[in-house]
């Protein structure tokens, strides 16, 4: 005997994870692919400040569980990076400064002002996120990856701790891998 049509209506187990992931992927695709052709500065501003207006917690619920080699996972990493730079611009500047002489190519790709002060880092990370709308998304990801690589190198030089250094290096590798997928039109 099979249950009636109303049987499942009575069960409240929470949101369907597959549906949530689909919604997260769809939102990321619309954000990256849909905003691309917009010349509207309000769209650029909304994309830049998405984590502030919607809340980083909301974005975490939406994208934090997404694989790093996805649009949603890439966006999550970009917004977390921006939040981190804004939360500790002086500390990030010190880490970037310590790494920039050891990671020359990545320093140039990251495009941070010289010397890398807190204001220059905030401007750089905002410029990276504006690139979601204005630039090729692969360039956005590779630029963010280069920045993370310089910071990871700086953390190692400052002996900030193996775990923190490894976490930043992992972020750099994830963003770089996503950038390469995007160049092959395989990032979804």
pLDDT tens per residue across span 46-82: 888 888 888 778 888 888 989 999 999 999 999 999 9
Identify the pLDDT of residue 30.
83
pLDDT tens per residue across span 95-104: 988 888 887 6
CB-count exposure of residue 139 (10 Å: 0-12, 13-18, 19+): middle
What's the pLDDT band for 170 if we cut at 50, 70, 90?
very high
- What is the C-alpha end-to-end distance of the chain, expressed in Å? 42
* Cα–Cα distance, 120 to 8 (Å, whole number): 55
Identify the pLDDT of residue 73.
95
123, pLDDT greater than 50: yes
Q: What is the mean pLDDT of residues 116-126?
A: 86
* Element holding 99 (H helix, E strand): helix 89-100
What's the pLDDT band for 5 if we cut at 50, 70, 90?
very low
Q: Which of 38-47, 127-136, 148-157 tops mean pLDDT?
A: 148-157
* Cα–Cα distance, 161 to 181 (Å, whole number): 31
Beta-carbon contacts of 156 under 8 Å, excluding residues fewer than 6 positions away, are 99, 165
- Average pLDDT, whole number, for the chain? 82
Residue from 95, 183, 112, 85 nearest 141 by CA = 183
Beta-carbon contacts of 77 under 8 Å, excluding residues fewer than 6 positions away, are 68, 144, 171, 174, 175
CB 118 within 8 A of CB 90: yes
Q: What is the mean pLDDT of residues 182-186?
A: 95
């Amino acid at each position: 005997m099979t249950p009636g049509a109303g049987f499942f209506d009575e069960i409240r187990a929470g949101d369907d994870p597959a549906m949530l992931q689909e919604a997260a992927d769809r939102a990321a695709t619309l954000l990256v692919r849909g905003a691309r052709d917009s010349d509207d500065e309000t769209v650029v501003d909304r994309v830049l400040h998405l984590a502030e207006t919607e809340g980083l917690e909301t974005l975490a619920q939406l994208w934090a569980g997404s694989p790093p080699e996805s649009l949603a996972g890439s966006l999550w990493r970009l917004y977390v990076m921006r939040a981190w730079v804004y939360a500790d611009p002086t500390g990030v500047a010190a880490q970037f400064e310590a790494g920039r002489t050891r990671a020359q190519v990545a320093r140039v790709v990251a495009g941070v002002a010289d010397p890398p002060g807190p204001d220059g880092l905030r401007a750089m990370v905002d410029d990276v996120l504006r690139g979601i709308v204005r630039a090729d998304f692969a360039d956005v990801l590779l630029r963010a990856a280069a920045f993370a690589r310089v910071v990871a190198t700086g953390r190692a030089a400052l002996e900030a701790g193996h775990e923190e250094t490894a976490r930043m290096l992992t972020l750099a590798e994830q963003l770089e891998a996503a950038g390469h997928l995007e160049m092959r039109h395989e990032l979804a």
